[in-house]
Amino acid sequence: MPRVLLIDDDPSLLDLVALAFEEAGYEVSTEGDGLRGYEALRVVPPDLVVSDVNMPGLDGFSLCRRLRAEENPVPLLLLTSRSDEIDQALGLELGADDYLSKPFSTRILLARAHALLRRDERRRSQQPERSMRVGDLEVFSERIEVRFKATPIAMTLTEFRLLEALVRRPGIVLSRDRLLEVTRGDDSVVASRIVDTYVRRLRRKLEHVDPSFDRIETIVGAGYRWREGS
C-alpha cells in the first residue's frame, strides 16, 4: 500500500484529497503546513508527497528546495492556484516531479500520483542490471543512481529518466516532446519547454563535478542529444 503525505493549509481541500487517496487504496497522512509536513516525512518517509505551494511558513517551493538540498529524491507533486508557465518552471527547477493547478479533479490528481509511483514500481520490479558506462558517466538503471567521475549525483526520477534517454542514444537528436514522453510516461498536459528546465538542472549537477562538462548538446529548433566521444 503506497504511503502518501498530503500537505495543505486548507482543511476542506485536505479532507477531500485525503478521502480520494484513501478510497483509491493509499495509506494517507496529512499535515496543515509545510514545516510540520517536513518534520513528518523525516520520521516516516512516504512514497509520495503532494504539497500545496501557497502556505504560511514553509511553502511548497521552500519545502521542495529543502528536500532536494538534502538529496531526498521522494516524488513530489505540487498544487497551486498560480497556473502560468513561469511558476510551473520554477517548481520543476527546484526539483518537483509534477505540478497541478487548482482547481483540479481528484481523478486527475490520482492519475498523476499513480504515474509517479508506477515509474518507481517498474524500476524496482526490473531484474538487476549491470551499470551502463559512457565515458566518465555510470548509470545504474535498477537503482536510479548516477556516478560522474566516480562522484554520486543526486537526481529526481524525472532527471534520471531524461539523462538515461539521452545517453542510451548517443548522437541521436531527441525532440522536447519525445523527451517529455520518455521522462513522464503519462498523459500530463505540460508545456514541452519544461524539458529545458530539466536539462538545465542536469547540466548544473554534472558541471558541479566537472565545470568543462559539455556532453548534452542543444540542437536549435530540434531538441537535445548526447554528444558522442570518449
pLDDT digits (tens, 9 = 90+) for 153-162: 988 888 888 9
Q: Map out the domains of the chain with their CATH numbers.
A: 3-125 (3.40.50.2300), 132-226 (1.10.10.10)
Of the two residues 148 and 132, the one the predictor is more confident about is 148
pLDDT at 49 over 90: yes
H/E run at residue 147: strand 145-148
Alpha-carbon torsion (203, 152, 174, 195), positive or negative: negative
Confidence of residue 83 (pLDDT cuts 50, 70, 90): low
Order of all β-strands in the sheet with 98-101: 27-31, 3-7, 48-52, 76-80, 98-101
Cell (9 digits) for 185: 510516461
Q: The cell 517548481 sits on which residue?
A: 91
Q: How far apart are CA 127 and CA 226, in angstroms?
A: 26
Nearest Cα neighbor of 77 from 109, 32, 46, 42 is 109
Query: What's the whole-number average pLDDT of the chain?
Result: 85
- In this prediction the pTM is 0.63
pLDDT at 216 over 90: yes
Beta bridge partners of 223: 219
Percent with pLDDT over 90 in the chain: 46
pLDDT digits (tens, 9 = 90+) for 150-195: 898 988 888 888 999 899 888 899 998 888 877 765 444 456 678 8
Alpha-carbon torsion (204, 55, 51, 79), positive or negative: negative
What per-residue confidence (pLDDT) applies to 189? 46
